[in-house]
Structure 1
Amino acid sequence: MISAPPYLDVSAEAGRDFMMRAITGPVVMLNLLRFRAEADYSATPELAPDAPISGRDAFMRYFEHTLPFLQASGGSVEYLGDGGAWLIGPAGERWDAVMLIRQASVEAFIA
């Protein structure tokens, strides 16, 4: 199994480069998700549930909480489904879920 660090934060360079592309029109963000057997709330203990939950359950809590904000901004979930092994890609790599988020513009996406 390949172990890679999570990519959760945008670096200043990556953000600048993204904005410099001057993309016009709708944008779609691809999320490749891998879940822990047990969710890790060590960085945000105030959000931890009373009993341990799976990473998938923690993601679904986050998803359900943030979905109204996405929709209010004009965004939509185009796809959310189970992942798995690649058809074409590294044999040892896999994703638990895949999600596509659409926004009307880069500005809406950043906001």
Structure 2
Amino acid sequence: MTHIAPTESSAAALIARGMDSPATMLNLLKFRDIADYSHAPDLAPARPISGAAAYGIYEAAIAPLLKASGGEVLFAGEGGAWFIGPEAERWDRVLLVRQTSIASFLAFAQDSRAQAAGHHRTAALEDSRLLPLTAA
């Protein structure tokens, strides 16, 4: 089973956490070899591109929206196989994105421009994980 988008129950659970303080979102991303634009064919490039390239299009579109929402990328790095974890599992990219609050994150995610850019993210990803973190 792959995980690309939140479910209604995961969104409700996030809201129920009542996180009013800044939150850091841990993103684990696994890219498709070739981006799949079947859900948004009007956005597909003229020639096939990699999932990583499609994610780059998403990042370029989303960066100003993230900044305007008060968010920032704290870390972006290359993933790989686990040191401790399932040997067959790998993540291509890891991101830590800080948001001023879950409310600002949700407003950012519901912005129509972010949702439009999200089609490139969907095309790019084979699987993902998003874990909201707060300081202990």
TM-score using structure 1 length: 0.92
Match of 2:12, as an amino acid? R
Q: Percent identity?
A: 46
What SS does structure 1 have at the residue aligned with 2:104?
helix
Count of aligned positions: 107
The structure richer in helix per residue is 2
Q: Partner letter of residue 93 of structure 1?
A: E
| Structure 2: stretches of 5+ with no match in the other structure | 108-136
Corresponding position: 1:26 with 2:22: yes
When Rg is computed on C-alpha atoms for both structures, the one with the higher figure is: 1
Indicate whether 1:64 and 2:72 are aligned. Answer: no
RMSD of aligned Cα (Å): 0.9
1:17 corresponding residue in structure 2: 13
Aligned residue among 88, 91, 94 for 1:95: 91
In the alignment, is the contact (CA less than 8 A) between 2:25 and 2:96 conserved in 1? yes
1:55 aligned to 47, 51, 56, which one? 51
Q: Does 1:8 align with 2:4?
A: yes
TM-score by length of 2: 0.76
| Secondary structure of the structure 1 residue equivalent to 2:75 | strand
1:10 Cα deviation from its structure 2 partner: 1.6
Q: Report the more deviating stretch, 68-77 or 21-30.
A: 21-30
Paired residue secondary structure (2:31): coil
Q: Give the corresponding residue for 2:120.
A: none
Give the structure, 1 or 2, with the largest relative contact order (CA under 8 Å, sep 6 or more).
2
Shift of 1:24: 2.2
